[in-house]
Structures are given as C-alpha cells and as structure tokens.
Structure 1
Amino acid sequence: MSMPVWTIAGYSWLNWLGWTWTVSSIVLTTWIVMQRRAPVSTLAWIMVLNLMPVIGLAVYAYFGPQRVKRQRLKRWHHRAALMSQEDLRTLRQGRAEPPVWAVQHAALIEQSCGLQLASCHEVKLLGSGAATLDALLGEIAAARKHIHLEYYIYEPDITGLAVLQALTARAKEGVRVRLLVDAIGSPKLGSREGRRHLAHYLAAGGQFAIFHPRRLDRLRPLVNLRTHRKIAVIDGRVGLLGGINITDDENERVRPQDAYRDTHLLLRGGAVRWLQYLFLQDWGYAGGGQIQGEDMLPEDQPGTVPVHVVASGPDSDSEAIHRAMIDAIHMARERIWLATPYFVPTESALMALTNAALRGVSVKLMVPEKSDSRVVTAAARSYFEELQNAGVLVFEYSGRMFHAKTLLVDQSYSMVGSANFDNRSFRLNFEVAAAVFSTTFNQQLAAMFENDLSACKRVPARRRASPPQRLFEAVARLASPLL
C-alpha cells in the first residue's frame, strides 16, 4: 500500500520543498557574496547556509557578520559631536613624537583609527586580577570629578559588588560615575535581578547604560558587534585597559586555585584622554547621552613614555588593531612573543608570524592548554604544525585558564589590550589596546612572559593526537572564519 503524497497546486510537497530550498539558497548566497567579506569567510558561510538551510540560517542570524550600516551612522553622529568640542581640538594639538623606527607604524595606527600618539608619565603592568582590582579601587577612592567604566563582563559577584559599592560611595560624595556594560557579556547585571544590585548605585546618582541590549523585537540579537573593551578612566588623567573583566573568575583572592591568569595596564598622562574619547563615543552610542559641562579631556604635561591607544570595531573596515599587530610583526628583527587565549589567526596574521620565524626572528606563541571553548582550542591546535615547521615555538599554559593578550616585539615595542588574536576581535567586536614604545616596559613584559613560561608545556614538533581528535581540529579550523 503506497503512502499518500500531499500536493499543493498539483505539485507534491517534496517539489515545493526543493524549489523553496533552491530559491532561498540563491538569494542567501547572493546576499552573502554582495557583502564582499573575506573569501574564506564568505565560502564558509555559503556552505553552512546551503548544507543546513534552516539551522544554518539560525546560526547566521546569531553569529554571522551582520552588516552595521545603521550602527555605523549612529556612531558617526556621536563621533562628530565629540569632534566639534574645543577641548578635543586642543587634545589633537598635544601630539607626541614616536621613536624614529616607529614613525611609519604610528602613522598607520593614526590613519586606521584616527587616534594620535600621546605620552604617559607612568605605564604600570598589572599581572593579576587582584592587583588590577586593588589599583582600580584605589583610583576610584582618589577620584575628584568623574569615574568612567566600560566592561564586557561585569558580574554582580563578590568582585563586582565590591566595585559597585565603591562607585556608590563616590557617587554619594558628588563624583560623576558612569558604568557601561555589554548586554551579552554582562547579562546578570542588565537583568531585573541585576537592577536590584544597582538600586543603591542609581539612587546615589550613578549612571548606567547597556551596550546593544537584547530585545525580543530584534530580528538579529547582535551576538557579534559587542564591546569587548575593558576601560576605566578616572578624572581623565588615569586609565586602565587590558584583558581583565570585573568578575570572581579573574580574582585569585576569591578563586585562588583557578582564577584566570590575565594582564592589565595602568596609564597616567595624555594617552588616557584618548581612552576617555573612546568611552564617550561608546557611552553616547549606547544611549547614555552626550556629556556637557564637565572637563572630560584635561590638559596634561607631556610624559616620557610614548603610548598609542589603538581602537577597532565593526563600525569601521580599517581593522586598526589587526593592522597594527601585523605591522609590528613585520618590523621585528629579534623576537616576537605573542600571548593570547584564543589563537585563530587570519591568513595575513599567520603569514606574518611564519615569515618572521623563517627570516630568523625568535617567535614564541603562548596559548592556554584548555580555553573556555573546546572548538577554539581545537582550531588553534590545527595551526601548530604549520607554525612549528616555520620555526615558531608554541607553548601551552596549563593549570588554569590563560587570558592574557600581549604582544612583545624586539626590545622596545609592546602591546597590551582586550583583543584576542582571532577574527572576532579583529573584525567583529569593539576592542582597544595600547602600543607602548619603551625599552623599560618591554623588559617588564618580557619578564612576565618568561615567568609564565614556567607554567607552560612546550608543544612537541610531532604532537600526538588520535585520528578523531585530528579530524575535530580540522573541522574546527574549517569553521575558524566564523569563530
């Protein structure tokens, strides 16, 4: 007995399904191709959408490289409003001079992100979450005019509530306090329960904003396009940035056995005003409003350490941090020591690293033995053989999650920031880093890197991996443009 075949207008439902799949495939493929993104990424998304027509579309909606024309226009308006201020014009007059060897590198950064080289009186390396928390709480207590914080992850846990209590106390004393968090990275603080924790802070006059809040009426929840930045600015004179979020996960006093190993940076001096400039852009864009009647960009005496704040995000195609890191790698003549929790390099970044190793530069890569993403860990390991064949030494940090994001080149160049060495940080999220032109700071960062090596295992040239594991790594690498 044959099964009945449902028909619509004389055609079976299988025919209609086939035609629907074909038409949707053509439309979606054309749509992705017209976005003119990197060929590898474009081909990967075409495969996902065509091989998994329903699931693939859902994955693309959540994780795909959404176009940001509207967001770009909105951010441009806030940037234009800041550009009209007299104090910003004054800020642009305080240009510092880079070392002779870094003139073109500084020009590349300025042209790609619009921020000029500045200088600092102090550049302090912070090698743990507890040290960073102590520094932040100390600067909050010393604030006189305003405190601005922007974080990807802000948890209302022991660490987060300690900071919130300090902010509330200063707000009660008349200090202007503004807190900006990312909706995806800080869901608890932005929830109804989180508002309960924020109640005293808001009642004291503290201000709060959420970057790209999640809404039911959004067709796409903007899982990309996050602010992955970690910025603190106090009175426009002291700034902190790097990889450390406000969470117990990065506070070894709360979690002594498994707190993340991470790196942060404290700056004093003129470069802090560019961090302030970035915060003001993000604050206005996130709905915090334009700030008027306050001295946001105070004048400062020139410092002795040239520091270039580098900013990038999906509102621009310039990929400033991506370009800066690749250019710094190309400049290397002696050593390149790269630390990153997520190593999923672009083709150009991978080529830069292997080229440097092949021309005799000492290239060392430090990654976690196990990151908080099994797929990213597998994707990273798929690149090890190619790197090692070129002469790169690969080390895996064991024992706890390694979250530091640093680059050290030769004897005088260093970079510390929020950006991972992957496609998401280079192209899909808002990131910030500081390039420091200093032999002294370079030595400090090198000492920290060497200390971390004591907790690492060097990956052998012929790494043992079972056939299923190698297959998983190969598949993860295939998906790397989407990560």
Structure 2
Amino acid sequence: MTWTDVLWITVPALEVLWVAYVVVYILLERRSPGATLAWIFVLAFLPIFGLVFYFFFGPRRFARKKRRFSAARTSVRQRAAEDRGRELHDPRAISLIRLGESVSGLVGRPRAAELELYTEGAPTYAALAEAIEQATHHVHLEYYIWDPDTVGTRFRDLLTRRAKEGIEVRVLVDAFGSSKTSDAFWRPLLDAGGRVESFNPLRITRFRPRLVNFRSHRKIVVVDGAVAFTGGMNLADCHSSEVVGDDAWRDTHLRALGPVARGLQMVFLGDWEFATGEAVAGQAYFPPERALDAPLTAQVFASGPDENYDAIHKLYVGAVASARKRVLLTSPYFVPDEALRVALETASLGGAEVRLLVPKEGDVPLVAAAARSYYPELVSAGVRVFEYGPPVLHAKTLVVDDLVAVIGTANADPRSFKLNFEVALAAWDPATCDVLAEAFERDVARANEVTAQTIESWSLPRRIASAGARLFSPML
C-alpha cells in the first residue's frame, strides 16, 4: 500500500470522525431541534464548508469573567430599594419585573426614570450633543456602527474637545460594525486623552476566531452616570435627515434620566472590562440620584451569549403572552422562534389586536425571505402584518396594552436573541406606551398591509424561496 493509498483512506476517515465529533458537540449544546437539524444538515451535505462555517458561526455561548464593580456595586445595591419609581399594582407587571430581576440581576433592577423618546435622527443627535456638552466628569459611548462620515466625525470632534477639557471619554465600538473607522480617524480623540477600544477585534494580533460571530449590537451612551441614551440609532449619516434628507432611516431612540441610567452604566462597564481588562469603579460613575419631577418605573434588560438566560427574548415572549388588548411590534429583521410566534398567535386568537411592522425591502435577502415564510400562519391567526418603506425601517420597539413599552437594540430574530450582545429598556408606563403607539400609527399609515389575498398572489418561485430560507432560520 502506497502513501497515496493511505491518504485516500485516512483523510476521509478523519473527516468523518471530526464531523461526528462536531455533531455530538452540537447535540450536547441543547439547541432547539430546528437549529440542531439545520447544522447537522449543513455538516452532512457540505462537510468541509460546514466545519469551517460552524467553527466561526456555530458556537452560541462563551464564558467571560464576571463583571466587577467593587465599591460601585455596593453603592448601587444599597440604593436599589430607594429608586424603584412609581408603585405598580398590575400583577402582570409585577411578574415581568421579577423576570427582569431574575435574568438580568443587578442590571435589571426596576428603577425610577424620566424618558424622552425620539423617532428621528436629527433631534436625537442634538440631545446627545447637548448631554455631552454638559458633562462634568465622564462620557461613555458604545456603538455597533460608528461611521467616519458627517455625523460620526461631528461626534468624534465634540468628544475630542471635551477630552481636552478634562472629561473622561471612553468609546467602545464593535470591530465588525465599525470597521470603516480607522486608527487615523480616532487619532485626534486619542491624542486628546480619550480612550477608544474595539469589541471583539478582528485584527490578527487580537483575533479570536471562535468569538467572531459574537458582536456587540448595543448602542449606549452614559453621561456622568445620570443621563443615558439607548435605542436603534448608530452614529451614521443614514439616520440624519439633515444629511440625507427624506432617505433618513426611520428609527427610535430614547434619553433616560435618573437612577435607571445606572443599569445602562453597568452594561457599558461590563463590556468595557471584557474588551480592555480594566475594571472601572467608583462613586463618580454611580452618583446619588437626583430628584425627578414625574418618575416612572423602568428596567434595563441586557442579554448576550455569555449569559445563561436570553433576557430580552424572555421579556418579549412574556410580555406578548400577557397581552389583553394590543401588541404593537416593530422589527427590521423578523425571524421569530416558535416561542415568540406562538405567543403572537395566541395573543391574537385570545382577542388582542396584534400588529407587526417590518420593512418592505430588507437589506439581507435571505432574512427577508425567511420573514415572509411566517406571514401565512400569522395572518391566518389574525395577526396583521404591515410592510414599511422606503425609507429603511430600523426601529426595534414593542408595546403591550398600556402595560409596557420596550425600546432597544434587539431585532426579533435568533441573532439578536441568542448571539449578539443587546440591550433594551422596558418602561412600565401607560404614557410611554401611548407615545410609542402614536409613532406606530404614523408608520402604519405609510405601510402596506400583507393580507391573505396578498399571500395568495405570491408566485410559486417566491413561495419556494421563502420556504427554503425558513430552513436556515435557526442560523440567521
């Protein structure tokens, strides 16, 4: 037997053994049956490609050191019982608040807040710039996308000036989402004393291939530990009508004042510690709360592949399942798992008005096709589906009755619920629900409803494409 013969026997045998090992590993990960079968299907029919693809995009969890806040953690815990905001009596709210505390820990404590909602980029950026201008100690920013364009450069220059004036500036950007920014772009801020770090870097010297699929999709700004921003907007021209006119993306963002900012601060500092190894702590980052004129109760839900619970997913499913009157869900990417789909259908069949707003044209064709595969069963259960655009729809919001309004960074899809680092703020407040509901109605007025007749008119190739895309839903 020649060496060639040995190789012809050994290589396929090793390949089979390695695929079998990976299949067993996948089975032990306790994924959903659909996700497990999807990965096994890929490995069975495309073994080499499947192994490489799984190596980079298959893992769902990883461990990172527990976040440390030393004195700051103690001070937050001592004040937790004092800053819960308005007392709530609805048993559904009480139950879901307990859920938040269970799955998000100290971050998810209910806290008092005053909220300002924004549905356009220009006023959002104006409020953000004003808060940065008024900073007296620190400004912390975490973004998935920070583009080196008009908006991105404007905020870099503002932060550079504030850093020169002695303000602590920490910027954390996702290495993939913000890949357009270079070291040269950040140089003015760095030279002024600001800090800029990448989340999960893609550079060879710091590259961790097993973690490449885990991205920080969060958008968080915290100023002096007392003012915070979060929502769907990145720092990019596409969100600003002042730059791109009527093509500006439709999005939702918020400013939070008061103790709830501590929750977002803790999320940022945990991510900062993961990216840099630096544990930032001290009373200056968690100052005593200031009096609020009309506080409501809000909670921060943070989820990521380093946690045992999919906090935002559980919030969505739990809130929708509790609906009695209405569910208004807006998501740029809509690929629901069985739990969320059943919750939406059950709420509708139980008498609640359930409406879903999604983009007419998605920027990822496979995801858009998979989303449409869910329309028939949702529509048949009474869920009303609306397709919006142009312009691009990028808001991620949920309204359930007058019970809770959720504004955050997470899409209703497996990537946001299972793989990305995401954050959401839940406001237990009827007035906030009404503000989001009014924005939803304005959006629906510009959208087209997908009816049973619409679905029946779809061509056979389109139906096949949607059905095929759905097979990959657990992997999207």
Q: TM-score, normalised by structure 1?
A: 0.92
More helix by share: 2
Would the alpha carbon gap of residues 297 and 20 (structure 1) be closer, same or farther in structure 2, given more than 3 Å must change? same
1:44 corresponding residue in structure 2: 38
In the alignment, residue 129 of structure 2 is paired with which amino acid? L
1:242 corresponding residue in structure 2: 231
Per the TM alignment, residue 67 of structure 1 is displaced from its structure 2 partner at its CA by 3.7
Per the TM alignment, residue 146 of structure 1 is displaced from its structure 2 partner at its CA by 0.8
2:128 corresponding residue in structure 1: 136
In the alignment, residue 209 of structure 1 is paired with which amino acid? E
Q: Does 1:150 align with 2:142?
A: yes
Structure 2 counterparts to residues 100-119 of structure 1, below 5 A: 100-101=89-90, 102-114=93-105, 115-119=108-112
CA separation in 2, counterparts of 1:430 and 1:195?
24
Would the alpha carbon gap of residues 58 and 160 (structure 1) be closer, same or farther in structure 2, given more than 3 Å must change? same
CA separation in 2, counterparts of 1:12 and 1:222?
32
Name structure 1 gaps, 5 residues minimum. 1-5
Per the TM alignment, residue 19 of structure 1 is displaced from its structure 2 partner at its CA by 2.8
In the alignment, residue 38 of structure 1 is paired with which amino acid? S
Contact 1:209–1:288 under 8 Å retained in 2: no
2:204 corresponding residue in structure 1: 216
Deviations 1:10-32 (A, max 9, x none): 5683x555434432321221121
In the alignment, residue 458 of structure 1 is paired with which amino acid? E
Would the alpha carbon gap of residues 427 and 216 (structure 1) be closer, same or farther in structure 2, given more than 3 Å must change? same
Paired residue secondary structure (1:80): coil
CA separation in 2, counterparts of 1:108 and 1:124?
25
1:362 corresponding residue in structure 2: 353
Structure 2 counterparts to residues 279-358 of structure 1, below 5 A: 279-287=268-276, 289-292=278-281, 295-301=284-290, 303=292, 304-358=295-349
Identical columns (%): 41
Contact 1:48–1:56 under 8 Å retained in 2: yes
Per the TM alignment, residue 443 of structure 1 is displaced from its structure 2 partner at its CA by 1.0
Of 84-93 and 171-180, the range deviating more from structure 2:
84-93
Aligned with 1:459 (options 428, 450, 457): 450
Aligned with 2:188 (options 188, 200, 212): 200
2:464 corresponding residue in structure 1: 471
Contact 1:215–1:221 under 8 Å retained in 2: no
Paired residue secondary structure (2:136): coil
Would the alpha carbon gap of residues 469 and 17 (structure 1) be closer, same or farther in structure 2, given more than 3 Å must change? farther
Name structure 2 gaps, 5 residues minimum. none
Contact 2:327–2:399 under 8 Å retained in 1: yes
Deviations 1:418-458 (A, max 9, x none): 01001111111111111111111111111100001111000
1:3 corresponding residue in structure 2: none
Of 451-460 and 288-297, the range deviating more from structure 2:
288-297
Contact 1:168–1:206 under 8 Å retained in 2: yes
In the alignment, residue 356 of structure 2 is paired with which amino acid? L
CA separation in 1, counterparts of 2:332 and 2:142?
21
In the alignment, residue 129 of structure 1 is paired with which amino acid? G
Paired residue secondary structure (2:209): coil
Superposition misfits of 4+ residues, deviation over 3 angstroms: 6-12, 15-18, 80-86
Structure 2 counterparts to residues 85-100 of structure 1, below 5 A: 85-96=73-84, 98-100=87-89
Kindly tell me the number of residue pairs found equivalent between the two proteins.
Answer: 466
In the alignment, residue 326 of structure 2 is paired with which amino acid? R
Contact 1:341–1:402 under 8 Å retained in 2: yes
Contact 1:208–1:288 under 8 Å retained in 2: no
Aligned with 2:175 (options 156, 176, 183): 183
Would the alpha carbon gap of residues 9 and 294 (structure 1) be closer, same or farther in structure 2, given more than 3 Å must change? same
Paired residue secondary structure (2:241): coil
CA separation in 2, counterparts of 1:198 and 1:84?
30
CA separation in 2, counterparts of 1:85 and 1:260?
38
Deviations 1:197-235 (A, max 9, x none): 211111111111111111336462533221111000111
Q: CA RMSD in A?
A: 1.8
Deviations 1:319-359 (A, max 9, x none): 11111111111111000000000000011010000000111
CA separation in 1, counterparts of 2:151 and 2:122?
9
CA separation in 1, counterparts of 2:408 and 2:443?
18
Of 126-135 and 94-103, the range deviating more from structure 2:
94-103
Paired residue secondary structure (1:272): helix
